Structures are given as structure tokens and as C-alpha cells.
Structure 1
């Protein structure tokens, strides 16, 4: 399946390895994970990550950061959406949010900041990108299969053409 940005969406290899980890996050109120969306093809992912286990360990740490931010915010709105996480070679990470309605600015900033603090796995050959489809409080899952964060929409509009996930991440990345 192709996202609107031209990237393959599901990846059975990594998703199978991560399903168990996301089950633990799904039961931790006020966060419910609906599924994991791999934003690149299975071949691309296999070439970039050291192992499914390394990605699973990293995703577990990202889950902990999400739980911590959610637990620290008493007034989370009931909203569903995506948190997109990207890791670049050199152990640099970033995150983008795609929630409708948008999360309160303080919560959004805390989520991105705390996810960026999680020590990323080592990747090679370009960024590794996945999204977590989740709900805060009683939020329901979005109907869309893949995320479309505002920063990605802006980068696509500025480029005037569809881009693959790796190029899109590079254009939308802010250090």
C-alpha cells in the first residue's frame, strides 16, 4: 500500500516484532495504541535497522516517554491520531504529531521533546520511519491508514511534488 507521500505503509517483519510491545502500551491509561504503521517498505527497513529486536527496544523506550507525558497531563483531550518517529544515521531522532483536533501546545511540545530524548537505535542508509496510531483519554482511532503531519504537508506543498518518506523526513526535519 502506498501513502499519499509515495511510501510503502505496512511492514510485516517489524510490525510482528513490535506487536507485543505495543500491547503493553495499549493497556496503560490514558493512552491506547491501535497499531503501528511502518512508513517504508520491508526491504528498506531491513537495510536500515540493525535488527527487529533493536527497533523493538527503541519503540519500548518511546512508549515509556509517551506514557510519562500522558501521565503528567491531567487534562488530556479525548483525541486519536498518529505520532511519527524518525531516526537518522548518527543516532538522531525526531517526531511529528498528527491529531485532529490538535493536542494542546504544551502536551504536543512535551511529547516531541521527550521522544527526542530517547536514545535512538543506530540506523544506516537513511532514516527509519514509523508511526504509532493511538488515542489519548477516550480518543478513537483515525480512519486514515497513514499519518499526514502538518510539517509533512508543508514540505510536500513547498516541493510541489509527492516525495518518498525518506525525502519527506529530510525536508521536514528541524533540529
Structure 2
């Protein structure tokens, strides 16, 4: 009888170990996804996009590279906070790009600044004849998707102050990021 009790006691720790490992493994499989693109929003008329972003495959590859870069950068964050909204991207001829975040809640600067820097380092597709502007509708760390219809980054809001009528997106980007100052 004593031997049976000893064998049972050995089985209990083994069962706990198996359950613990299984629990940890399932937690890894269910971990919050740092970055997920819900959809791509073209912020200019189709005719403008067609003229300025002639190579759709290059645009698609660029969007894919932005997604991979954002996922990699956000996976490093120690204390993730779910957020949703938009990553707004402008690409100028000559391989220059600019990124604005429009997320709610806003990311802390310690997270937002390295993310924007990393995204702006991704080599863009070749725009032709003017700026191309689009947005990635995204969720971070499994936040519910935004219900907003489109992006309105803070820098754009400041640039549009005092305007009596809506501005075309390309004109707004030119005001926030003048072609002469583009990096």
C-alpha cells in the first residue's frame, strides 16, 4: 500500500508539469498579435493612384514590408497596450516616405517614435508624378477595430485649422510635409 502511495505521489507532480507546460504553450499560441492590418484605405481618387502608383505589385510588396516591420517593432514592446486606428503613409517620387500614426488610445512616445522611424526606413515603391497617400487600418495587440471611417492624424488637423472647405489629401500632405523638405 505504501508503494502505491509513492507511485501516486510521483504521478501527481508529472501531471502538474504536463498541465503547466500545456498551459504555457497554449498561452504562447494565443498571445496577442502585436500588429494586424484590417484593410488598406486609398486616400486619393483611383485615377490619381493609378497614375502615381503604376506598379501595383510594388505597392503590395511595400505594404507587406510595412506590416512585417510594424509587427517586428511592436513585438519588442514590454508593456503592450491595445490600440486601433490608422498608420497613414505618404510616398513621394524619389523613394521618400512619411508616416503618421492615428491610433486610439495614442501610443506612448517611447513606442510611437521608434515605430514611425522603423516604418519610414522601409524602402517604398516608386511613386511617379506626385505624392501617393494611403492608410493601413490596423489593430495592435488584439484591440477591437476602430469604427472611424478614416484617418485624421493630429499633424493634419493642425495643418487644416482655419480652412473653410475640405482639403484634398495630397494638398494637405504637401502642407504638413512639403516636397522641398521631404526626406
TM-score, with normalisation over the residues of structure 1?
0.79
- Runs of 4+ with >6 A deviation: none
State the distance in 2 between where 1:119 and 1:134 align: 20
Q: CA RMSD in A?
A: 1.6
Aligned counterpart, 1:108: 112
- Structure 2: where are the runs of 5+ without partners? 1-31
User: Residue 172 of structure 1: which of 151, 176, 179 is its match?
Assistant: 176
More helix by share: 2
Aligned counterpart, 1:97: 101
- Structure 1: where are the runs of 5+ without partners? 1-27
SS in structure 1 of the partner of residue 171 of structure 2: helix
Equivalent residues in 2 for 1:78-157, closer than 5 Å? 78-157=82-161
State the distance in 2 between where 1:158 and 1:112 align: 28
Q: 1:158 to 1:92 in 2, by over 3 A?
A: farther
User: Which of these two proteins has the greater Rg computed from alpha carbons?
Assistant: 2
Offset, 1:50: 2.6
Offset, 1:158: 5.2
TM-score, with normalisation over the residues of structure 2?
0.76
Aligned counterpart, 1:22: none
Offset, 1:138: 2.4
Instruction: Say yes or no: does 1:35 pair with 2:39.
Output: yes
Aligned partners of 2:89 and 2:133 also within 8 Å: yes
Instruction: Say yes or no: does 1:44 pair with 2:61.
Output: no
